[in-house]
Amino acid sequence: MLLTFNVIGIQRMQTSLKQLEPFWYPLMPLEAWDGEPLSVQLLGRMLVLWRRRDGQIGALDDRCRHRSASLSGGHVGLDGYLHCPYHGWAFDTDGHCRELPQQPNQTIPNRCHTKAYQVKEQHSLVWVCLANQAKLPIPPLSKLASGCHRRIQGFHEQWQCSAFRVIENGLDNFHHYFVHRGVLDALSPIPEPMEGGITTTSDGLKFSIPLELSTTEALEATVGDCSPTPRVERYVHWLAPLGLTLKLTWPNGRQQCIVLFAVPRDSYSCTILRFYLRNDTEEEVSQSSVIAFERTLIDQDRRILEAMPSDLDPCPVGEQLIEADQPIARMRQLLQKFLATTS
């Protein structure tokens, strides 16, 4: 059965980068950053992340208000300020200019200050919100770690595709049968019904749906289950606007929770941040086996997604959704409400 936009209540919507600003985005794992000034791109803006000597993180426009030099090329001085590499102007984490070496005895005008953004450390990630107030809090990912013994840092890389495409791919229960053949061999092209339907949450939606597979050597290495046709229980949670968790429970009791964020760099590319929580140990399943298996899967997804139209559009024109696409249709519908409501 086809689902039309009118039936599910979706109207045509153009989404701008500005509409996505009032949300928290994880820019990188803390372990991937030494605290030195670093240039990052978020929603079309170039930012500089830096850490004061007392440990506090700052996120500023990566442009000195003097002559537009990149502050990410500067250094953190003994005074705890970020110093521009061009003429030494110094900024604090609030964006206030604290020193003009060229006129040390004069009052610093307000026009010399630069823009600062909200930044937090949480879940071993660096989060930034470009708006003064976020519509949703940082997701409480710590709840996912219950019963898990380890965290595996997976992937932090740039993709040339829409961030919405990445998240919808995670909600797509159909593509496994075609995209992942030979690695994750699903047994039927018709997914079983969702158990309990789709539940709307304060920060997105949830649903569960099983997947029956034929064991491959790669799958057995990462799951540790040698049964010929294991049935994995899949619990999906979309975290508005561009996050996703996928909890997998295998017949042998192994569990893995995949945490994925697609962070828009601009209208045509995004940064993928993906890590894993597992209830086994390194001795049972090595981290290298997990990463190798997942690398193959996401590369298969990436080839498809980067070949699709890459503009940042949550409701592409001309796409014909069918009954199996209910999670995607519902996500598109809810997304309109998240983007339209005020803080």
Question: Same structural domain for residues 124 and 149?
Answer: no
pLDDT of residue 3: 52
CA distance 154 to 255: 16
pLDDT one-digit tens code per residue, 268-324:
999 999 999 999 999 999 999 999 999 999 999 999 999 998 888 777 778 889 888
Question: Same structural domain for residues 102 and 232?
Answer: no
Q: What angle do CA 216, 185, 269 make, to 5 degrees?
A: 110
Establish if 172 belongs to a structural domain. Answer: yes
Question: Same structural domain for residues 150 and 286?
Answer: yes
Residues of the chain scoring pLDDT < 50: 2, 4-13, 343
- In this prediction the pTM is 0.91
Establish if 8 belongs to a structural domain. Answer: no
Sign of CA dihedral 129, 132, 136, 138: positive
* Cβ count within 10 A of residue 312: 23
pLDDT of residue 341: 66
Last residue of a domain, one of 72, 101, 129: 129
For residue 52, give the nearest of 146, 137, 116 by alpha carbon: 116
Sign of CA dihedral 253, 288, 29, 53: positive
Question: Same structural domain for residues 113 and 164?
Answer: no
Amino acid (1-letter code) at residue 242: L
Question: Same structural domain for residues 254 and 293?
Answer: yes
Question: Same structural domain for residues 149 and 298?
Answer: yes
pLDDT of residue 13: 47
163: domain CATH number is: 3.90.380.10
pLDDT of residue 246: 96
Question: Same structural domain for residues 145 and 194?
Answer: yes
Question: Same structural domain for residues 163 and 70?
Answer: no
Establish if 1 belongs to a structural domain. Answer: no
Last residue of a domain, one of 106, 129, 152: 129
44: domain CATH number is: 2.102.10.10
Question: Same structural domain for residues 99 and 150?
Answer: no
Long-range contacts of 209-214 (CB under 8 A, 24+ apart): 209/173, 209/234, 209/236, 210/234, 211/173, 211/176, 211/186, 212/186, 212/187, 212/188, 213/184, 213/185, 213/186, 213/187, 214/185, 214/186, 214/187
pLDDT of residue 10: 45
Q: Which residue's entry shows tokens 């005895």?
A: 105
Question: Same structural domain for residues 115 and 151?
Answer: no
Question: Same structural domain for residues 56 and 112?
Answer: yes
Q: Which domain holds residue 65?
A: 27-129
Domain total of the chain: 2
pLDDT of residue 12: 45
Q: b/e for 217-238, b at 16 or more Cβ within 10 A? A: ebbeebbebeeeebebebebbb
pLDDT of residue 343: 44
pLDDT of residue 257: 95
CA distances from 118 to 42, 151, 192 (A): 13, 26, 43
Establish if 136 belongs to a structural domain. Answer: no
